[in-house]
Chain A
Amino acid sequence: MNWEVVIGLEIHAQLSTQSKLFSGAARSFGAEPNTNTTLVDLGMPGALPVFNKEALRMAVMFGHAVNAEIGMTSVFARKNYFYPDLPKGYQTSQMDHPIVGKGHLDITLEDGTVKRVGITRAHLEEDAGKSLHEDFHGMTGIDLNRSSTPLLEIVSEPDMRSAKEAVAYVKMIHSIITYLGISDGNMAEGNMRCDINISLRPKGQTEYGTRTEIKNVNSFRFIERAIYTEIERQADILEDGGKIVQETRLYDPDKDETRSMRSKEDANDYRYFPCPDLLPIELTQEYVDQIASNLPELPTQKAERFMSEYKLSEYDAGVLSASRAMADYFEEVAKVAGNAKLAANWVMGELSKYLNTEGKDITESPVSATALGELLVRIEDNTINGKTAKSVFQAMWEGEGSADQIIDAKGLKQVTDTGAIESMIQGVLDANPDQVEQFRASDEDKQKKMIGFFMGQVMKASQGKANPGVVTPILNKLLKG
């Protein structure tokens, strides 16, 4: 059977506020257990939540970025369930009246087509603490540092039809929240987590199949693999005439499999009701508009500007605007180098190659954008050629200094003196009489192929320092005799 996969995603993004959603404790990662806590985060009797307005502003920014309706009145609700790291016995979240309503965003697929994905809603909620099972001799330790840190839960429509689309969507959300500066989006630290709802249906069928939910997947790669694995599992069951059980599953990256966590029958009745400790949030149009007018440039807008301002291709503009850090880096290189196309080629080529090899993020590059720009200036002004530039870049990467320092120290300055180059070429021709004779006997097509050989020999003789722009006409002239 030909199956169509239907995917919807719930993304939890931790907002990068100074303090927590309902308490004044610092929002931080990696502190000693239970040190970043207040009475509120500990669920002390009599403690009351006080809402952090910074989180509100960030949620409204996100709403604008995905073209969503903003909830002018939004209400916090309690989601009741017992868990040891949930200190109050309920999570303060939003149910009937979320801060962000229906919206949408566009994702660009690998073949260049653009697809619109619906956003159902996004709401504010507090995170729980963490249960620690090691080192407690059969007991469980509770760390409430994360308790009450602010999350924005972003719920998509079931609009995605492949793992690739799902990943493109998650990347776009990641890109938007980091562009907005409302989340670090650091998936390894768990401040962006993803629940994947997934079902299969025969191609052409309109109603959805029974779905499963894969909880808490925390990397782009795992999202893709979890989806492939789950598609395969569901397809096997359906093709054997079986039925999918609606349930929550966990993805195990080590075994590359999903396994059942709890079925719908075991699911909690969360008994949502409006939180009586918090008043409804009432927004004014002025507040909402003011946030809209101060929104930073978003990935799609940036890509469009790169195309018009720097004459980049759609593909290059897309790659370079994928993350705010990448875009900022590129723009700085282009500004210093004065040649955007050259900057684009280097950022996407040599720099990315080095970053990938060492598994580094662009923010961790040992070569700053300004330093790379200065290197490209030396290509532009013919001090060095492209090939030499690559070796200079390698030295810069290894911390040997700036482009100019390395060019000077290694004596890599191009030779552009025509007399010196002419005698160097003559030397090459004298050393290769057979090839010269063969060249002169060939037709024009053959000659074009052979010129590369002489060029190589000249560059070798000059230790790469001869300016190819100067060499070519002289070489042509001398070869033709």
Chain B
Amino acid sequence: MSDIVRDDRHTAVDIKNLEVTFATDGGDVNAVQGVSLTVRSGEVLAIVGESGSGKTVTAKTILGLLPETAVASGAVLLTGEDVLTVGPKRVRELRGTDVAMVFQEPSTALNPVFTVGWQIAEGIRAHGKVSKKEARKRAIDILSRVGIPDPETRVDYYPHQFSGGQKQRVVIAMALVLNPSVIVADEPTTALDVTVQAEILDLLRRCRDEFGAAIVLITHNMGVVADLADRVAVMYLGKVVEEADAKTLFADPQDDYTKRLLGSVPRLEARGHQAAPSADAEIVVNARGLEIEYPGRLGRAGFRAVKGVDFTIAKGQVLGLVGESGSGKTTIGRAIAGLTRVTGGSLEVLGVEMNGVHERDFKPKRAEIGFVFQDPASSFNPLLTIAEAVAEPLIVHGRAGDARAARARVDELMEAVQLPKAFGDRYPHELSGGQRQRASLARSLALDPALLIADEPTSALDVSVQARVLELFAELQSDLGFAALFISHDLAVVNLLADRIGVLFHGDLVESGPNDQVLGAPEHDYTKRLLASLPVPDPSEQAARREALRALTRQA
């Protein structure tokens, strides 16, 4: 226990010189190296960093929730007690009452076979004898306080009966129910859509203001930090490289890494000029009343993912499709590439009608289409080298006999995406996520396509890596002049690349037009809400935007 008696009324968590080491297959990893942080009550401390920075490990240590393979040293003082040494029994008592946690993925943080009321009551009853009735009453109470409508009924619902955002509210309710002094929120909004994210951030703000809890917010999203944090600690490779209050950090970052991180965040700024393609430019993709329905199972009604959408992509033009999960944006991309059947309306791709198309007729056109997938982890066959994978389009379309014959072109492509030629001999797992996405880009460009479809190519990447990949994409596009469909959930990312933007909402294209028009003067309510929900990495501007969003939702 600490000898130095600090003013404990204000210090909720005091982390001193924390070191955490993991045993992995590749040897021991020092995930956290000498981190010291303090959080005071009524304050939101954001720990920011990219994957592998040790931010989650640091936060989980506060609850003593480290995997068995990890070893921690240093001290984590929670209202004066060192979590690392008080022993498992005391740690269990502290969990829930003094410190609670909000998880990243609400659908996995809730037990699917118990009602939410029961799960909330479990937390209450783990700390003292409380009658079932009393626990239920408190569960209903806390559910209503986190904004679950009709809590008396919903307390008996199972998790799958809630939407994603509501699930996260339930998870927050569970954390709040025993009024802990500290809440650790590990990427609490990452799994959520941006409009839902805004609501959850508001709820967390209320946790701080109304419940007086100290919040440790783990995130990689600088917009979220700007929205919620009072103070920010930036972590990089297991160390805290900079700690400052939020305003100072955004206005005047000191550390190089912080500067780079902030610089990489795509911003919603008008890009000014845009070479609008002339009206008579050749049309590459033309959708008229496009409908796509997934067949239902066993006689159930199918799911209409796309409900009558019109758009065109002209030669050399980049169309950005934006939407939240379930909006149908990925489905449209897949339909253009012939991966999903068109069930209604018309979709012409490079002059081929995709509604009722036969693979035989479309196959020659495939040489002119490139596709970059979202998940860099699965986009390469783990058993083939990068060069073999990149050569595949060349071999399939008869431009090269085998991978060796294609090697010259592969090297050229590797160079184009700024990867060393030697990477061609590596296996996918030997590349980082960003490198794999570049290689994926190389593969999609192998045949000089007229059309490139990029389905959230950077959403799985860290922000600094994302910035470089996006830059590369923009460069290649202007050099090679292919038309592109760029699909993303992130307005700011789309804005960087697209000439025109289409906004999808539940399968409908609610708005489309040139960037500046859609982003600068949105007409549809949904677009407005989407825009206003997107947090920007600037605390004061974000505060103003928050107000604007409130006004917008009140109005709606």
Q: Do A and B bind each other?
A: no
Q: Which residues does B use to contact A, with CB under 8 Å?
A: none
Q: Which residues does A use to contact B, with CB under 8 Å?
A: none
